[in-house]
Amino acid sequence: MADAADATIGGALMSDDVLKSMPEELHRHLLYTLSCDKLTEDPTYYYQASALAVRDRISQAWRATKQAVSTSDTKRVHYLSLEFLLGRSLNNAIQNLDLDAAVKDGLHKFGMHLEEVVEAEHDAGLGNGGLGRLAACFLDSCANLKLPVTGYGIRYEYGMFHQKIESGRQVEAPDHWLRDGNLWEIERPEDTRKVHLYGHTERYYDQDGQLRSRWANAQNLLAVPYDMPIPGYKNNTVNTLRLWKAAATDEFDLNEFNAGSYPEAVSEKNNAEQISMVLYPNDSSENGKQLRLKQQYFLTSASLQDVLADWVDRHGEDFSKFGELNCFQLNDTHPACAVPELMRLLIDEHKLEWDEAWSIVTSCMAYTNHTLLPEALERWSVGLFSQMLPRLLEIIFEINERLLKAVAAANPGDNELLKRISLIEEGDHPHIRMAYLSIVGSFSVNGVAQLHTDLLKEGLFSDFYKLWPEKFNNKTNGVTQRRWLSHCNPKLKGLISDAIGTTWESDLESISDLAPLAEDAEFRQRWAAVKLANKQRFSDYVKENTGVEFSTNAMFDVQVKRIHEYKRQLLNVLHVIHLYNRIVAGDTQGMVPRCVLIGGKAAPGYHLAKVIVKLVNNVAEVVNNDDRAKDLLKMVFFPNYRVSAMEIICPGTELSEQISTAGKEASGTGNMKFMMNGALTIGTLDGANIEIREKAGAENFFLFGLDAHEVAETKKAYNPNEIIAGDEDIRRIMEVLEQGTFNRDEPGLFEVLTSGLRNSHDQWVTIADLRSYIDAQAVVNDTYRDQEKWNRMSILNAANSGWFSSDRTIQQYADEIWKVKPV
Ligand code: 26W
């Protein structure tokens, strides 16, 4: 048997040796590592054996990558994020290490199929949605580009909740993703860090007679790191995602032990462990919970200490080059405590002076904003902060004082300006504005699509933009084509690679070579055949999860994302009701059969979002059970939407719904996944849709609705009732909704929704966009009738998706923000 440790990833040596040795390796793991008595048929064991065999092969490159980085002394990047939505790892690792044939073949020898075996892996659902999945795509691209980037996050015991649908309503169940263990992580107890909470600050004179501040009487807890490998694509690079688990210190319980209260001591331990217990399932409104602030501080303090400890190992107490050789990218404001915490560590622990420390902090922190929604901007109560993080609060006050002094000097007499930019929002309950803290403490502030960045500059952050225009920049999001095309759509991958080679897998711009093939009738036919096969898989999956039959003759129309008013799933439902009304009225001339799927989780405390879920289910129930609609219209709410569901939904989708109120969706990334897989988009001029339309060509995009500035104008004198009264189709839609067609047994159930639509203060101006949306959907319908045309447009969308690779995004972060080179 070849020694696994000798194999080179993606090297020439590999394939033959691996093919031969894989069955033996699987066998060895089944027998010795997993101790299976006789050869089992349980796919879970084969999943574990495969993961172990693949992990063996990752180890060497992982060690080599660490070695290369630690000896090179190049600049390093630390990506701090409360969320990493990785999904499954086995298939990804197999693909990136080029082990596909070997593992498939190895499993065959045991009568097992890889497709079945990978299903045994739980999704690592350590994120809510866009921001968390973006972090995962970024790690993949950093490894692909061989960049020295480490991810830092929290090892939540429970990830994003499991969504069940009972009587049409969302019910949350815990996601204990670690219950069968996690073969992808390695605990590193030797790198455990100590984190402080509570206590108070005190003044003292150090040996040099200097007056200093320190954090006294704090409670300590431990941060224990678990490392996960992030393999690059066939390039011998394996980067690291380091996730922290909270644990109690031993010292903690001593007093209580001595007092004989063993159970109390153990419950203290539990208290500490709470911190990494559960991911907050909120992605659009901050709720000021203590535990969440603890999580944020826990992550930032442990990660910064980790980086500093490594620095001191290599450079001693000389920090003169620390700022130049490190960069911390803050994924939204969630890790914003990094600004005052790095100040604290440098000043209190490493005895630097304020100015020196501040110049280091502001040369190595960079902040990405992911949302314009005011209710999602984090503000922490000063009271809570002073209790939990007293020393940090002191530092924040000092940062603020210096900021206000400098701004006042440059803008004498402008007290309004000072109030507006203060890090502290004054009032009965003063709050710290975490976004402002992040801007002030960073050398770079970026938005995630061009429109979003422009709106940040002219709106939310305009005062800061005037102060420091040079800090602001745009980095349009991207997604990794390795997961979101190669892995999830093997048939399309095959077709594309047959036609233009495989360069696109590591350099997506080259997918543009497909464009001329849009004119090739035979290629179009093969393209359509792949879509059809993917629709079949999609349809089987829908049947399995909902019991509803989606006919592959119909157009597959999909909206999957978190449920939120601004994303306007409601607009989608209004259109479905419109189609249903036409069917009932017999007005079906030229109507193409459609299957509409909506999926996504509602934050557990977001009542309106939950009512929207219920509405989708109720409309689906009526439509799917009406014989008149049988051949023309189906609708489902897909339960428990997650990364591994998208891997099946995305390849089979034909129409991608990106219909948010313009100016509200920072970027969107689902829109990019669909485009790569040849879906056409119906969308507003919002977030990255604008760039998608530019790249795809306006003629290959179904545009509707008001743009961001028109939305603002419309709101000044918005009269939805007038629009409703003046438009026969819209009047009908509202009528059936308000008559209770979809809530016979529960009168008034959807009143909150209909009254919202009719409200002149409706923030999402849904009714204002409805006519335009219905008309655009009619154009979609007519285009679909011409399948040659549709397929041409589909190919052109995929061919023009090169810009939306996260490799491009990360290359821009590396060149323009981080200034790092591959190792
Ligand atoms: C404090 C509660 C909370 C938690 C998470 C507020 C806000 C968030 C995230 C910033 C929400 C989020 O995921 N934003 C999404 O980020 C994606 C990646 O940049 C964008 O593509 C989406 O448009 C944006 O909604």
Q: What is the pLDDT of residues 313-330, one digit of tens each?
A: 999 999 999 999 999 999
Residue % of the chain over a pLDDT of 90: 93
Does ligand 1 come within 6 angstroms of the Cβ of 129?
yes
Residue 194 near residue 220 (C-beta atoms within 8 A): yes
For residue 5, the model assigns a pLDDT of 40
Does ligand 1 come within 6 angstroms of the Cβ of 83?
no
User: What is the reported pTM?
Assistant: 0.97
- Which tokens hold the place of 357? 């420390």
Residue 402 near residue 437 (C-beta atoms within 8 A): no
> What is the C-alpha separation between 256 and 268, in angstroms, rounded?
10
Give the closest residue (by CA) to ligand 1 atom 10. 370
For ligand 1, the distance from its centroid to the CA atom of residue 184, given in whole angstroms, is 27
Give the closest residue (by CA) to ligand 1 atom 8. 283
Residue 550 near residue 543 (C-beta atoms within 8 A): yes
For residue 572, the model assigns a pLDDT of 99
Mean pLDDT of the chain: 96
Catalytic residue among 453, 669, 684, 766: 669
**pLDDT below 50 — which residues of the chain?**
1-13
> What is the C-alpha separation between 612 and 568, in angstroms, rounded?
10
Catalytic residue among 482, 531, 567, 594: 567
Paired residues of 186 in beta bridges:
227
> Is residue 192 annotated as a catalytic residue, yes or no?
no
Catalytic residue among 673, 693, 695, 792: 673
Does ligand 1 come within 6 angstroms of the Cβ of 371?
yes
Does ligand 1 come within 6 angstroms of the Cβ of 677?
no
Which atom of ligand 1 lies nearest, measured to the CA of 129?
13
Catalytic residue among 370, 379, 431, 482: 370
For residue 12, the model assigns a pLDDT of 38
For ligand 1, the distance from its centroid to the CA atom of residue 279, given in whole angstroms, is 14
> Is residue 245 annotated as a catalytic residue, yes or no?
no
Does ligand 1 come within 6 angstroms of the Cβ of 686?
no
> Is residue 673 annotated as a catalytic residue, yes or no?
yes
- Which tokens hold the place of 29? 């793991």
Q: Residues near 25 by Cβ (< 8 Å), separated by ≥ 6?
A: 1, 4, 53, 56, 106
For residue 13, the model assigns a pLDDT of 44
Alpha helices by DSSP H, listed for 365-503, are 382-388, 390-410, 415-421, 434-441, 450-458, 462-467, 481, 490-500
For residue 40, the model assigns a pLDDT of 84
Does ligand 1 come within 6 angstroms of the Cβ of 373?
no
> Is residue 567 annotated as a catalytic residue, yes or no?
yes
> Is residue 594 annotated as a catalytic residue, yes or no?
no
> Is residue 562 annotated as a catalytic residue, yes or no?
yes
Burial class (CB in 10 A: 0-12, 13-18, 19+), 397: middle
Catalytic residue among 561, 564, 578, 634: 561
Does ligand 1 come within 6 angstroms of the Cβ of 474?
no
Amino acid making up residue 688: A
Residue % of the chain over a pLDDT of 70: 97
Burial class (CB in 10 A: 0-12, 13-18, 19+), 664: buried
DSSP state of 599: E
